[in-house]
Amino acid sequence: MDEIKLTCIIDDDPIYLFAIKKLLEITNFSTNYIIFKNGLEAINEFKKLAEEDQPLPDVVLLDLNMPIMDGWQFLKQYKINKFNTGISIYITSSSIDKKDVSKAKKNKLVSGYISKPIKKEDLSTLKTSILKKKSS
């Protein structure tokens, strides 16, 4: 497989969303993307997709600080609902707090930590490593 079909972005910051959409387009990152404003919206949609036997996104770019359900709570719910563990979940946060970074590293669901601002090169590297993982 040489393509990422669906990317899921979970973030509440409209400016970041504007920018990441642009970046996804510029880098030709994936065929499609869906956006959720917080963890809960994403979990609900994932549940629905699972019930309808629809495929879940291939990649999740997850922010940490969000209202209603934050990134950590999302990961907890993700585990409780036993969603596909083959999905690559990346934390995308502007936090440079070492605690957040090491906490993310310890979580088995998390594939990596990308510190904002996200650059074009970050997405290209990411795409390569995801596709490599998929084909192996």
Q: Which residues in this chain contact another protein in the complex, by CB under 8 A?
A: 13, 15-16, 19-20, 22-23, 26, 65, 94-99, 116-120
**Assigned token pair, 132:** 């490599």
With respect to another protein, which residue has the nearer C-beta, 65 or 73?
Answer: 65
CB 133 within 8 A of CB 39: no
**Assigned token pair, 91:** 């934390």
Q: Is 26 exposed, middle or buried (0-12, 13-18, 19+ CB in 10 A)?
A: exposed
Contacts of 86 (CB under 8 A, 6+ apart): none
CB of 78 to another protein, least distance (A): 22
CB of 109 to another protein, least distance (A): 22
With respect to another protein, which residue has the nearer C-beta, 19 or 34?
Answer: 19
CB of 1 to another protein, least distance (A): 27
